[in-house]
Structure 1
């Protein structure tokens, strides 16, 4: 009987032993369908998980795109060693308070400038603000780097990275800004975030899992972001990292998606072809269970062990379900006498 964990038809979306690929991809597809809006009166869906708006400015006539520029017009923060008179200091303090005002939704003016995609203003604010202000997270735990990455504002991301902002901050879904780049295919932003880090310094972010148990390479594989996958691999990403719900590696996810390009990329980078999920299923189990003879062949050509058993004591052959193309990959492997395989036995 075919394994409930290795075949597609036995993988309900709400099964906690599965990574929830279909439901997750549906959510991502829904987000991508909406896409960034050029209507500044309603970009709420880009960042909100429900009906809540990211910042109060969208429903307030007191704050507009033009007024954002007016707010910071002529405002500068002097260096700490500059001597000023008491009256001047009071004015300076007022300017600083204005620049660091936080809305009821937790947004700084920098958040708002990025949301409204006013890159020149955002870059000026980045130069004015100290790092601790640049790392402020709003009520959805989004830092300016999260928002700039989502909106693919490469120059803003570059400016933030030059100020050495944190790339380890996680939003309400547990995603770092690099997770966001991997999910939405923002290659240029991902490049900016990783270019000045050695593999050892970048490892903590690459190993971070969001609240769905997915790391950066998992998200890139799930969304078929092949160029970002290449970037992460070059930066030393763990090819065999397991997601937190069912223990799938990026190779398992690529097999489930029938993504031949990702499968070849991962195997060519020396991903473990026999990596096992928590239930013991290997990528070959998944390929055969999904009747994907092409990927099953690729896995076998790369040395997949056909006789490995999952926790239900099934080999990949047990899941072939009469598929002749797949059965051709297993000549006589299932024939045994007294528990001994006849493979390699001479008569």
Structure 2
């Protein structure tokens, strides 16, 4: 990780969310047709088929129709950043199940609004009754995605608009076992880490794979600035993984001796010796997209 980015609390944007469902779905002439049809809110297309939500959606065909990738016209408007048309459809769908339809990647309109960095659409969706707890095919809520991509604007809208759901959203783990603070740490977004903790996120929460806390992850990434930040915010230096390893144990064999010295001084005396247990790394389980990225960073840090 670049030192300058670390000091500024910034990381590289995560560009692995897919918008395949709509990016190439419309030609230029079709976009013009979509705009005209959306204006009338009476849209039809031979390339679209009707889904099973007819009884819930009423008689508006634009609410029932889906693309070959499972996208609604609202999804397509968000993907193509046609904000005016998206807002019109949202206003026509307040507290309507239509807002929570998910495409075949299980992305809702809210997921797509965060991925495309449209905080104003996020705000409209939440005020209209969109469910912030829906997860995509990787188990990520919209807040997970905001933390993974470092989207401060979308993060602010989500956290301010969902006070009731916020504790659940911050503690929820995706299918890789990572919650929001883990993702913010892995991707190097310091300001989001601080904000999550200020909002009540558990700084010592452990990911499901090996039981690492945010501090363990920071040590594995050899990110000294992040280690210092987490310690200053109250991270438990004596937290143990499922295999009985403290953050200090993970400094062995690593290049950054400053991290090792800092943690040695803070770690309880009886936790300074390495436990006698098998390696925590497992070659048997397939790695998820997040774990592959994390493993790549870890390998670079070890070189």
Q: Is 1:150 equivalent to 2:115 in the alignment? A: yes
* TM-score normalized with structure 1 length: 0.66
How far does residue 67 in structure 1 lie from its aligned partner after superposition?
2.0
Residue 173 of structure 1 corresponds to 138
Residue 71 of structure 1 corresponds to 37
**Map 1:294-333 → 2, pairs under 5 A:** 294-301=258-265, 303-308=266-271, 309-312=273-276
SS of the aligned residue for 2:41 comes to coil
How far does residue 278 in structure 1 lie from its aligned partner after superposition?
0.8
How far does residue 273 in structure 1 lie from its aligned partner after superposition?
0.9
Q: 1:164 to 1:269 in 2, by over 3 A?
A: farther
**Map 1:31-50 → 2, pairs under 5 A:** 32=14, 47=18
What's the RMSD between the two structures over aligned residues?
2.6
Q: Is 1:258 equivalent to 2:229 in the alignment? A: no
SS of the aligned residue for 1:236 comes to coil
How far does residue 297 in structure 1 lie from its aligned partner after superposition?
2.7
Moved over 4 A (4+): 59-63
SS of the aligned residue for 1:195 comes to helix
Q: What CA distance in whole angstroms lies between the structure 1 residues aligned with 2:216 and 2:242?
A: 12
Residue 24 of structure 2 corresponds to 58
SS of the aligned residue for 1:64 comes to helix
Q: What CA distance in whole angstroms lies between the structure 1 residues aligned with 2:26 and 2:112?
A: 21
1:311-341 Cα deviation digits (max 9, x unpaired)? 4179xxxxxxxxxxxxxxxxxxxxxxxxxxx
1:139-187 Cα deviation digits (max 9, x unpaired)? 1000011111011111111111222321111101111111111111111
State the number of aligned residues: 252
Q: Is 1:190 equivalent to 2:155 in the alignment? A: yes
Residue 87 of structure 2 corresponds to 123
Residue 208 of structure 1 corresponds to 172
Residue 86 of structure 1 corresponds to none
Moved more, 213-222 or 65-74: 65-74
Which ranges of structure 1 fall in alignment gaps of 5 or more residues?
1-27, 36-44, 77-92, 315-347
Return the match for 1:109 from 57, 73, 76.
73
Q: 1:102 to 1:229 in 2, by over 3 A?
A: same
Q: What CA distance in whole angstroms lies between the structure 1 residues aligned with 2:206 and 2:29?
A: 45
* TM-score normalized with structure 2 length: 0.75
SS of the aligned residue for 1:73 comes to helix
- Structure number with bigger Rg: 1
CA contact (8 A) 1:255 1:283 kept: yes
Which ranges of structure 2 fall in alignment gaps of 5 or more residues?
1-10, 43-57, 279-303
1:87-108 Cα deviation digits (max 9, x unpaired)? xxxxxx65x1124311221111
CA contact (8 A) 2:63 2:98 kept: no
Residue 7 of structure 2 corresponds to none
Q: What CA distance in whole angstroms lies between the structure 2 residues aligned with 1:242 and 1:46?
A: 24
Moved more, 142-151 or 64-73: 64-73
Residue 13 of structure 1 corresponds to none
CA contact (8 A) 2:93 2:128 kept: no
How far does residue 288 in structure 1 lie from its aligned partner after superposition?
3.1
Residue 228 of structure 1 corresponds to 192
